[in-house]
Amino acid sequence: MVVWITGFSGAGKTTLAQAVQRSLKEKKGDVSILLDGDAMRRILKTEWELSYEGRKRLAYIYARLAQALSEQGFLVLVATISMFEEVRAWSRQHNAHYLEVYLRIGEAERRRRDPKGLYKQNQSMVDASYEEPQHPDLCFDISTPLEEQVLSVVQRCQESFCP
């Protein structure tokens, strides 16, 4: 199963993915794999891939890696900005068990949080290019408590994925 968590920088994607991972392990002993966008860029040494084309290439790398791991029986959590609806649609089409989670956050809150300093650096390309999910399976805004988000995602995982 692939759980694809998408949203703008500062939406809480990694926080949610880590909390879901802990919950799955504590409740059922399930081991999952977390593919975090920041960590993956460091591992793949692609910090320079900030162009539109470079970001799309990386998104497909993450999608194909998640698919390969899922096909081997792993529950894969992907936490990336995931700017491209095309890539998310590809992931949905190529994974038998796919759950798309959209974390919605307004611009004012993104600018307030700004965990990577993107707004201070005036790197607004992500905002301009981000394609909001058309049909996410779950959608949370910043007012939804983390515990509620985790519970919803874990329930959907347990309904869809039996290791």
3-state secondary structure 82-102: CCCHHHHHHHHHHCCCEEEEE
Mean pLDDT value of segment 62-90: 94
What's the CA angle centered on 162, arms 156 and 163, to 5 degrees?
125
- Model confidence at 126: pLDDT above 70: no
Q: Is the pLDDT of residue 48 over 60?
A: no
pLDDT tens, 78-122?
A: 999 888 999 999 999 999 999 999 999 877 777 776 666 666 666
The DSSP secondary-structure symbol of 80 reads S
Digit-coded pLDDT (tens) for 92-102:
999 999 999 99
- Give the torsion sign (CA, 84, 87, 92, 93): positive
Q: Decide: 103 and 11 in contact? Cβ < 8 Å.
A: yes
| 50 vs 40 pLDDT, higher one | 40
Say yes or no to pLDDT of 152 above 60: yes
The pLDDT of 28-40, averaged and rounded, is 85
Q: Is the pLDDT of residue 26 over 90?
A: no
Question: Among all residues, which ones are annotated catalytic?
Answer: 82
At 123 the pLDDT is 54
Three-class DSSP category at 147? helix
Domains of the chain in sequence order: 2-160 (3.40.50.300)
